[in-house]
Chains A and B, each alone.
Chain A
């Protein structure tokens, strides 16, 4: 098959073609690794676990953001050709490596860090697995931070301030977490200029999430929660 790989850096780049042998059960990450090991050791790309847990190997494959370690070539090969590029909506560092800083900076901006509401001397809160809020929080905790949703989102592409689906989904998880006391702070963090209200509900995040999560629903939840909070007199 023909594999076109984007080569370049933040100043620009171009696609370079490689001929790669087809194999059974070959993933896109296998293809990129084969090129790096057999054709060009200078090719830069990122991966770690190879089994869909770490979220580091996401790339654009034939124009679609995907986790490459779990994407089989036979599912995405188009006219015997693969086009592989760094993730959209993030600045490229080199070749297939995108700079993840904006993604994680926004994660922090959306309040995606733990603000403990109890000390070690307090008793642990008892949270039943079938608790309604816990069930909502559970829906999103399998996010692996691969940034596929961020690359898929057209609102991110057009609005530099927008926090993006992953960060907002994290905020929604925290909002529903019994262990987070200051939920007003969570809502304030997602009500600003780049907040959840910029979402157009196009649903690319949910369509492309490799873990079948639903960031669009999480963002809808945040919109509803912020509206209720606003009507009650909050920010």
Chain B
């Protein structure tokens, strides 16, 4: 009896406080009060297979046709009875999706939902000292009722209070990502996250898809040197020399001190057969490289190729 009372009092005391970060979004007029992506497909998980199930949900939501069973050998580790976060990102890329990690705050999740992107989250449904790690996909929320809905485990529309979600999500250090079609971008304005996603993406997705993805990002952040380099290089690799040249020209005018931009422009010009302009650009790159030895040796290779080309002629 005494224990019961104690528990009740304890519960009463704690029930008054919402998880930190929840009030910020419920009182933020910037978000629509509720939004749900009801069309999101659902794949109920089999024992321990929440990783493959959640990933299949996120990929099918962007029309990438893959089943949880196909994903099991790609992300599941039998001895750990689960899936690693890094492999979740890698498997999304393998299936052609650009996997962008989002900012560690509830507002970022809502922003993506509002923009139509489901969010794959990692939660610890247990306690920090007795973890029960779980992957699920956030598909909707209601700020007035303070609720959030997920495709989770065997539940097609798993309902959680925003506070409970926030606490279970916080234990994974707010780990979450969106899987996007190449050419789409996350709603959040974090260029660094998009860049790191793109760099990993171009390694597995191939130049054609990388080109589409880089083009979209370079359109949104037009002066970013990394994005321009990625776009120019993927144009070059896919044989679009005119496109590559115009991108690197733009890079040299936006970043007139960038040795990389001039070096890559020189390579494109050489491929176009314009040896004189190529040489001029490579020499400019060499001057700009200053005392960066690694860069200098790469530019020297460009100059060697230009010289070899003129000798051949």
Q: Do A and B come from one complex?
A: no
